[in-house]
Amino acid sequence: MILHFSSRRAPFVSIVVLALFAFVPQPASAALSADELVLICNGNIPVSVKTAEFYAQARLVPPGRIIKLNLPAGEEIPFEKYEAEVVPQVRAFLRDNGLEKKVRCAVTFFGVPIRIGAKRQTDEDTAEAAELRRQLTAIGERALPQIRDVEQIAASLDPSFTPRVGEDPSDLSARADHALQGIARHMPPPGDPRHKDLLLLLSEPLAARQSPGWVDGLYWPSPMGKTGGWTA
């Protein structure tokens, strides 16, 4: 948890409060003891340090809990500087002082930026994003025939079933969920022989089926999604 003494809400903080409310009693469920705090201020701004020291004295925060960072003036800090300097310093302070498991909340003060700038995309980031897109596309191509098979089963159970459209990863997930919900609504009762066959069909990877066929009155579709249906 991070408390920041500012009137604006920062994207990277968990909770933001105004300095005026610092000493307002909180519900017991949200209470933090002074021993669970670490205070972060801008070592380049005297008023930031003084505010942190005053807070530590008023809240009876144990000595040695103030982290004075070398920060730029302003509300935003470049992402690279935050990653390279702020994060390592805070982690090292907690580790070196044996506070990693004790501190639950970091309180930042005036002078500490409240926003982290956008991360600049490197060539490595671009290549990684392209590879992830390629993998998602490949997964979608492998999943699409199986989803079509499930949609055919749903249509066999309910002639009014209308499959969803789209082949993006999010679309495929929605299509599969829609088809499975349709199957669940029209599942044959447990006493019906088709009930067991249907469960077996849905529990095994459809892609492993090499050819379509009829088994005990149930059409087993092929991975390529040939049309089928229930027998009368």
Which neighbouring-strand residues pair with 5? 17
Residue 228 CA to residue 197 CA, distance in Å, equals 15
Rounded to the nearest 10°, the torsion over CA 132, 134, 136, 142 is: -150
Under a CB-based contact definition with an 8 Å cutoff, are residues 108 and 4 in contact? yes
What per-residue confidence (pLDDT) applies to 217? 38
Under a CB-based contact definition with an 8 Å cutoff, are residues 36 and 103 in contact? yes
Least confident of 20-29, 39-48, 62-71, 167-176: 20-29
**If you search the block for the tokens 């968990």, which residue do you land on?**
14
Over residues 57-76, the mean pLDDT reads 92
Strands (E), the chain: 2-4, 37-42, 66-69, 76-77, 105-108, 115-116, 213-215, 218-220
Least confident of 43-57, 142-156, 165-179, 191-205: 191-205
Asked if pLDDT for residue 164 goes beyond 90, the answer is yes
For residues 77 and 227, the model is more confident at: 77
Compute the mean pLDDT over every residue in the chain, rounded to the nearest whole number. Answer: 78
Over residues 98-118, the mean pLDDT reads 92
What per-residue confidence (pLDDT) applies to 146? 86
What per-residue confidence (pLDDT) applies to 30? 57
The runs of H, that is alpha helices, within 77-122 are 79-81, 87-96
Residue 148 CA to residue 81 CA, distance in Å, equals 49
Structure tokens at 225: 């999604």
Which neighbouring-strand residues pair with 106? 2, 38
The per-residue b/e assignment along 33-57, b for 16 or more CB within 10 angstroms, e otherwise, is eeeebbbbbbbebeebbebbeebbe
User: pLDDT exceeding 70 applies to what percent of the chain?
Assistant: 75
**What does DSSP assign to residue 63?**
S
Comparing CA positions, the residue from 185, 169, 177 lying closest to residue 150 is 177
What per-residue confidence (pLDDT) applies to 204? 61
Asked if pLDDT for residue 56 goes beyond 50, the answer is yes
Least confident of 12-21, 90-99, 146-155, 166-175: 12-21
